[in-house]
Amino acid sequence: MSECVNCTIRAWEEEFGSVLDRLPLRLGIVAFPRMMPFQAVIEAARNLEKGLQERSEKVLRPLWPGYPQQALSSAEGRYK
């Protein structure tokens, strides 16, 4: 990662370290050439945000019918 990203992560952890579980850092980087049209940069940033939001909204579902629901809930507790 770049030094800028590392510095941002360190500052975030120092400032919000006690609430990281409730206030996660979501960081996206859009790199582009200097002469890239501004609208293309903004569109890329919006697509990145949309992708992050969609990924965080995915719901886990069983892969096969009849999978016990209690197995899913107990597995969730192990990975928190």
pLDDT tens digit sequence for 45-54:
898 888 877 7
Q: What is the pLDDT of residue 80?
A: 46
> Per-residue pLDDT for 69 more than 90?
no
pLDDT band at 39 (very low <50, low <70, confident <90, very high): very high
Greater confidence (56 vs 35) lies with 35
Is the pTM value of this prediction over 0.95?
Answer: no
User: Which one-letter amino acid corresponds to residue 70?
Assistant: Q
Q: Is the dihedral of CA 30, 53, 62, 69 positive or negative?
A: positive
Judge whether 12 and 25 are in contact, CB under 8 Å.
Answer: yes
Judge whether 45 and 30 are in contact, CB under 8 Å.
Answer: yes
Distance CA 47, CA 25 (A): 18
Give the ranges where the chain is alpha helix by DSSP (H).
Answer: 3-16, 38-56, 69-78
